[in-house]
Every structure is written in C-alpha cells, then in structure tokens.
Amino acid sequence: MKFTPMENQVSVLIAPYTPPGKLIGLARYMEELNIPEVWAAEDYFELSGFASASIILGATRNLHCGIGIVSAVARHPAVTAMDIATIANAFPGRLTVGIGHGVPFWVKQMGLYPKSPLKVLREVVTNIRALLKGEVLTQREGHFFFDNVKLTHICPDMDIVTGVVGEKSLQLSGEIADGTLASVMASPEYVRYANEQISIGAEKTGRTKHIFPVLATFAVDPDPEVAHNAARNIIAPYILAAGKTPLTGCLGYDDKVAELQALGDPQKIALAMPKEWIHKLAVTGTPEDCVAKIRALLDAGASQVALSLALADRMEEQLQVLSRDILPHFT
C-alpha cells in the first residue's frame, strides 16, 4: 500500500511537558516561521489534546493542528465526537484527530484498561464516525452505552487517524482509519514494519487513502552530544511507561528494554541507555544530521515527520533552526 502524501512533510509536535501558558506564543511563532502544521499531544496527565488544539487554532489563522493521541477509553465516544465536531466546525479544514488505546501504564492508573483494547478501539472509531455523520446511536452492548444519541453539529468528512503500535492494532488501523500516527521512538525499521501491517488491514476493506505521520524526538545543536543528551532524557520516560513494544522489538532491543524498565527511574534509564538508541529512536544532531534522519523516515514510508522539541528551554531557537536550516530541504 502506498500512503497518501501529505502536503507538509515536516511538522512540530507540542510536547506534553510544554507549559500551557506558552501555547499561544509558540503557535503564533510557528506560523510566523511558516511552519505549516502542529500536533498537540495528549500524554496523561499533562496537556489535554482537545484544549491544546482549541488554543492553537484560535491563536492562529492558517496553522493546521492534529491531536495525537487521545485514548479511546478516557472519554465517552459521544463526548469525543462532540469535542471533535465543535473544534472542526469552528476551524474548518484545520483539524485532524488521532485516537488510540492509550499507553497501558497510564490507562491502568485510571482503572480504564479494557479486556479487549482492539475491540474497544474498533467500536469507538466506528461510533465516532457514525455520530460525526449525523447518525442516531442506540447501543446497549459493547464497552459504551448509547441511548438515542445524536450530535447537533456534525462534520461528516472528518479524518480520523489511530495512534497504535502493535501488529494487530496496525492492521486494524489500516482497515478502519484514515491514517496511523506512529509513536515517538519510531525508527525507519519500525516504519517499514508498520507499513506492512497497515497494508494487510487496508486490503480487507479496500481502503486506499491512508496518511502515516511519524512522531520523533527532536534536538538540533552544533554539538551533537548536546542534542543527543537532550533526547536521551525525553526517551527514557517512554521506555519506562511503554516497556517492550515493536518499536524496540524490531531493532532487537527488547532484552535491554526489560533491563532498563526494571530500574524504575527515568533518570537511571537515561544514563544506562545505549548511545546507539538515540541515533535510531530520535532526530538529533546538527541540522545536516537531522535532515538525513528525517529523510530516512520519509524514505521508509512515513508521509510526515512531526518533531517534538526536546530542548524545552530553547524552543524558539530550535524552531528558528528548523525553519531556516531543515524545512527548506522538504518543500
């Protein structure tokens, strides 16, 4: 399957540790720098994806915003559909929404982890699509209950992407979604693996439209070690929360991941993480290094690379370098 090309090959992910008070300024600054698209993360329990998207879109005139990724079980699908329709109708053509299982560690903290994550994700995406098209839902079986639910405001052409990682989930995404958002820590090897699995699912329903944006931890500096160390501190918490997944499994890292996760402390994990992992799991180094790593992800099958700024205290500077020295290579 060939993924649908995206107009913007490189975008920015607003990392969940970004102070909410900085969202308006960052969004406006990105628009000034002609960065065309931003993704708003929802990593529990930090920034709300829907609230962040509303702030970003309201503060700008043309910036496109993706929400990635809200958990299928953190909100009732009727509420999720209502939120989507509200934002999409306020800012026509400027919103993409991503829905996934949610990181199991965080979902379990809320007591929301379902018996069958795949079944629930299918149910939620299907129900949200139906509501956005204006259908009336009554459903007494399944994970969520509906009794004559209908949205007042609809948006039938809304694209929904999923944020999933594993084999069966990727196949489901290919079957039911308009795209797949690959998690931070996606390597070119993982992108090729995911592409194969998504294609298997797409063949079941004959879907031909599918975008495949990839999230990536990003740090650029004249001294590559400064950039690598910044990324190291961002990747470590993901290793702790996610553990062994195909993201690391396709690289043969799972034994080491289990060893690191057993440390139970992101700082200890960061210190013990092999340097090779930073080169594989993040976009870091000099501008030239970053261009090469973005190109490798695109060549592997990504339709877009969304860069998450690892140097939190140097966001504006990082955006300047991105706009001046990196984006021109991908227009």
Evaluate if residue 3 carries a pLDDT over 60.
no
> For the segment 261-289, what is each residue's pLDDT rounded down to a tens digit?
999 999 999 999 999 999 999 999 999 99
pTM assigned to the model: 0.93
Which domains are seen in the chain, by residue range?
A: 10-224+282-330 (3.20.20.30)
> For the segment 110-146, what is each residue's pLDDT rounded down to a tens digit?
999 999 999 999 999 999 999 999 999 999 999 999 9
Evaluate if residue 5 carries a pLDDT over 60.
no
Spatial separation of the C-alpha atoms in residues 158 and 258, rounded to whole Å: 39
Mean predicted confidence (pLDDT) in 174-183: 96
Mean predicted confidence (pLDDT) in 186-210: 94
> For the segment 38-59, what is each residue's pLDDT rounded down to a tens digit?
999 998 999 999 999 999 999 9
How high does pLDDT run on average in the chain? 94
Mean predicted confidence (pLDDT) in 295-304: 96
Determine the pLDDT at residue 310: 92
Evaluate if residue 2 carries a pLDDT over 90.
no
Spatial separation of the C-alpha atoms in residues 105 and 96, rounded to whole Å: 25
Which of the four pLDDT bands, split at 50, 70 and 90, describes residue 323? very high
Determine the pLDDT at residue 7: 64
Q: Which two tokens stand for residue 78?
A: 């009727």
